[in-house]
Chains A and B, each alone.
Chain A
Amino acid sequence: MALIINEEQQMLKTSTKEFLDLKSPLSSLRVLRDHSYKTHDKDLWIEMVEMGWTALTIPEEYNGLNFGYVGLGQVLEEMGRKLTLSPIISTVLMSSTLTSLSKNEILKTKLFQEIMNGSKLVSIAHEEGIQHNPNTINSLLSKQGEGYVLNGKKNFVIDGSISDYLIVSSKDESGSNTMLVLVDSKSDGITYNNKVHMDSRTYSDISFSNVKVDKSNLLSEENDGDSILEKTFDIARVGLAAEMLGSVQEAFEMTMSYLKEREQFGVKIGSFQALQHRSALMFGEIELCKSIVLKALQAIDSNDSNLPKLASLAKAKLGMTFKLVSNEAVQMHGGIGVTDDADIGFFLKRARVIQRILGDSNYHLDRLAKINNY
């Protein structure tokens, strides 16, 4: 497949940009932050739903738009440029993706409906340590009567404080099967510890104590829990990389503009070779980022068996490049770059948080080496 986006995908990208320019400029993040770290703008979310963004990846037989992940990737990239706060990562990129892999048709149909029409927000509660780890699950789903009870502790749940449902990973009593269950976030036995992070976003540590789960709320069958989780994470890694690609480009372009306008020693600072060479190096890294993000997005849509490798390439490369570019962007802005008045610092702070989600660059380089058998 040619490594370019088609006309329809380009139109979606353009309309997303126009919409966000108007409704969610970079300054919106500051406004939400300054209002006691508001999690998102609810009116904006309703408009996003009306634009069809929650239906992009849902197949036609569930009344979705079936536009694919290359399409969603364009939306995420543009949102990355504005650092837009919205539940799209938790609800669409992660939860809707996991739902699409489930064989529980009744629950799937209902969830898709509620996600598409914007009536429910959903988060995945998986992490249990302080680093991403797809395999360590100590949360326990035990049989009780006709249903189950859930016990355990989860960390760093994206949008956990606002979601209506939580999809929780757990083990069955044998300890060998990974179980994915949907619980109502208001259920008895769930307690929240909501934490604001450096990127002005709220992540929740959540405890489950004897939370009742109906058996109709199982999203996994006996032995597909791990594979559903793994594929969800790979798709989400690519989506996060697409968001990071937008952020990287925006931070870079803002910095290039600054180099062309700021004067010192009577000349534009962009004329200094020390800054020109570092800028040229960043340009090159960003070109590489564009290629791997598109390749990985296409791999999702074409069901390419190389997805795990491409997802790790994307997440590793974007993590490293976002770190480089956000550091250089602040440095090249000089004193103003470390003031809260300047927006450029938001990219630095987002880079450090999104890097950690679903595995940082070190994690993914290690995974790449394992995939290549060394």
Chain B
Amino acid sequence: METQVNVDLTSFRMETRKWLEDNCPLSMREKLTDPKQLFWGGRKGEFYNKDQKDWFERMLKKKWIVPYWETKYGGGGLTATQNNILNQEMARLGCRKPHINFGITMLGPAMLKFASEEQKLHYLPQITEGKIRWVQGYSEPNAGSDLANLQTKAEDKGDHFLVTGSKVWTSFGDKGDWIFCLVRTDFSSKHNGVSFLLIDMASEGVSTRPIKLISGNSPFTETFFDSVKVPKENLVGTLNEGWTIAKYLLTHERQMIGGIGDTDKKEYLRDEAIKVLGKNNDILSDTILRAKIAELEMNQEIFDLTIQRTMDEHKAGNNSGAASSFFKYYGTELSIQSEELRLSVNGFNASEWTSEESNNGAQARYFCRTKGHSIEGGTHEIQLNIIAKRILGLPSK
């Protein structure tokens, strides 16, 4: 019996490998150098080039935009093991994800767990077809780390909610079609007065304003709601119980920021260092940098093993140890450290900001961007608090 399963999986792997080799355009296997090379979809979505369009459409036809969702929701119906194999085979070739959407990584998992069947059948297929680009409305000016302090209110007006307030740190808010929001529906309780609401950003009264970061780029916006009418059926889950959904969704956000499940090609810092700095007697010429790179790569390699171990334990039915807070903390910390070391490796070239050779200061700007990684999705400090309290059981005051 088990042998038969293994045989089936082996043939699934072989078929998948062949299909990817035949269908993934070569340029879609190259390392990303520009965020535009990813297809985010949505009403305003445009393909960067023909290869990107072909790749998306072939994967869509194969139902592999979200391969692990049920087919009735537009997914491919793959088992966790099959999906793993697909991920491994995509990583082997370095295939880019055909479509990036917070609807896949964040909203989807929450909808699957908390939404009504009607809502799932309505919203999820639109995500898998790349038609709707979702954004997240969580943080507010006075609700950052203390997220439950949010004040954007949704008043019950009979057949609709009237939403007033503002959100901040909306990733790609200006490019989104719909926003999933935490809103306050009861002011008498902090955590038990929050609801989870889906809002069409084309509604009257919704506006955004970009936030310029230290990188010079504006991947985030402020999002304003000025007496926006939202139909009652856009409420997900139970009124005033949105905090449960919020927390569940945050665990998925942490995994996403931590880079769990990435299939793009790994670029080794050491290769860049060897190219730029050269070697003396087979040893990287900067020996202090060499030691730092070795330590970072040690942790990267063991972190990847830890993701694997956690998934294997999960499959075997035990959920010991490492939680999403740990992965978010450690994964972002490694990317931050890696960018610090890349600055050292590339010396004077690393800080260039505007030249064409530097691709408009891509490295320096990305370095600046990573400084947000330890803040967004719950700061490093919040993650450490969660580990201390929930996993280690350390007391509150």
Contacts and interface: CB of A to CB of B under 8 A. Distances in A.
Given A369-B293, A372-B297, A280 B392 contact: yes
Interface stretch (B336-344, B348-356, B383-391): B383-391
Interface residues of A, number: 39
B123 interface: no
A70 interface: no
B324 to A, nearest CB: 12
Given A283-B326, A291-B302, A372-B270, A271 B385 contact: no
Contacts of A271: 394-397
B212 to A, nearest CB: 31
A294 interface: yes
B380 to A, nearest CB: 9
A303 interface: no
B156 interface: no
Contacts of A80: none
Contacts of A287: 306, 321-322, 326
B274 interface: yes
B394 A279 contact: yes
B273 interface: yes
B298 A365 contact: yes
Contact of B381 (A267, A277, A292, A362): A277
Contacts of B389: 276
4 cross-chain pairs, A with B, having the tightest CB-CB distances, nearest first: A276-B388, A280-B387, A3-B309, A280-B384
Contacts of A273: 385
Contact of B283 (A294, A295, A316, A374): A374
13 contacts: A271-B394, A271-B396, A276-B389, A277-B381, A279-B394, A280-B329, A288-B299, A288-B303, A369-B283, A369-B284, A369-B291, A372-B297, A374-B279
Nearest to B383: A280
A23 interface: no
Contacts of A110: none
Interface in A267-285: 267-268, 270-271, 273, 275-277, 279-281, 283-284
Where chain B touches its partner, the secondary structure class is helix
B34 interface: no
A328 B309 CA distance: 26
Contact of B297 (A275, A284, A368, A373): A368
A188 B210 CA distance: 85
Contacts of B397: 267, 271
Nearest to A281: B384
Contact of B306 (A277, A291, A368): A291
B267 interface: no
Contacts of A141: none
Interface of B: 268, 270, 273-274, 279, 282-284, 290-291, 293-295, 297-299, 301-303, 305-306, 308-309, 312-313, 315-316, 321-322, 326, 329-330, 381, 383-385, 387-389, 391-397
B306 A256 contact: no
Contacts of A368: 294, 297-298
A268 B394 CA distance: 9
Nearest to A374: B284
Given A279-B392, A313-B298, A374 B290 contact: yes
Where chain A touches its partner, the secondary structure class is helix
Given A288-B303, A365-B291, A368-B294, A276 B394 contact: yes
B394 A259 contact: yes
Contacts of A290: 306, 309, 321
Contacts of A196: none
A256 to B, nearest CB: 6
Contacts of A270: 394-395
Contacts of A130: none
A4 B316 contact: yes
B323 to A, nearest CB: 10
Interface in A301-316: 313, 316
Nearest to B289: A374
Given A2-B312, A2-B315, A372-B270, A292 B393 contact: no
B392 A256 contact: yes
Contacts of B395: 260, 267-268, 270-271
A3 B321 contact: no
A374 B302 CA distance: 19
B294 A369 contact: yes
Given A313-B298, A374-B279, A295 B388 contact: no
Nearest to A261: B395
Contact of A365 (B279, B295, B381): B295
Given A256-B392, A270-B395, A366 B294 contact: yes
Contacts of A365: 291, 294-295, 298
